[in-house]
Amino acid sequence: MAGLVRDLDAELARLLRGVPYASSAAVTLAYPQGAIRHPLDGFGFIVPRVERRAAIACTFSSVKYPGRAPEGFALLRVFLGGALQADVLGHDDATLIRLAHDDVTALLGVEGGPVLTRVWRYPAAMPQYEVGHLARVAAMEARLAALHGLGLAGAAYRGVGIADCVRSGEDSADQLLAALGRPRDSPWPPRLVPTSVMEGENP
């Protein structure tokens, strides 16, 4: 994004480049429900650094999203990497699967191996909210105020969750519509061409 706005506002581009990003890997593992001693009575867990494990979090995908696994099976999504384990993407798939399986075995009481595995890598995809982040975002928004017709949306500003990103997009759209002088519930795309022209009359 910084490259796209560089010619419009060099300071805004500098602020955007200042948001650091971390990499992660997501390893999906499926097990027979009976092979997991933990009741999976939640949506997942976060692993604190003090645990000294490869996994940084785990989502119980088949609990959080019904229909993700057949009856009698559980689907887990294990996240590895982050800012403190930047080298994790250098491992091959087999190593990432082993690390993820070892951690859920220890933490959830899994018996036996997974019946399905998938690995996804997300290089430099996790924005890091360091000290001073909100001040940086406020400075970005101040620069944007002078650039009518340009909006920013995504995980790098005021929240990384899905709901945060959706709200970010809606807020940005509202601001752009306001700049066009149109209410949020107006039809899209806006009629920027005079009605007489659209109806076939000479401008």
- How do residues 40-81 score in pLDDT, each as one tens digit? 999 999 999 999 999 999 999 999 998 999 999 999 999 999
Strand, coil or helix: 125: strand
Domain range annotation of the chain: 2-19+129-179, 21-127
pLDDT at residue 199, as a whole number = 41
* Alpha helices in 73-149, H assignment, sequence order: 93-108, 133-144
Please state, in angstroms and rounded to a whole number, the distance separating the CA atoms of residues 1 and 15. 11
Q: Which CATH number fits domain 21-127: 3.40.1190.20, 3.90.660.20, 3.40.640.10, 3.40.50.880?
A: 3.90.660.20
DSSP annotation of 36 reads: B
pLDDT at residue 86, as a whole number = 85
Domain topology for 2-19+129-179: FAD/NAD(P)-binding domain (3.50.50)
pLDDT at residue 23, as a whole number = 94
pLDDT at residue 196, as a whole number = 44
E-strand ranges in the chain read 21-32, 44-46, 55-60, 73-81, 116-127
pLDDT at residue 123, as a whole number = 94
pLDDT at residue 186, as a whole number = 59
In this structure, are residues 24 and 125 in contact, taking their beta carbons and an 8 Å threshold? yes
In this structure, are residues 76 and 61 in contact, taking their beta carbons and an 8 Å threshold? yes
pLDDT at residue 195, as a whole number = 45
Instruction: Point out the residues of the chain with pLDDT beneath 70.
Output: 1-4, 6, 183-203
Sign of the dihedral through C-alpha 2, 3, 4, 10? positive
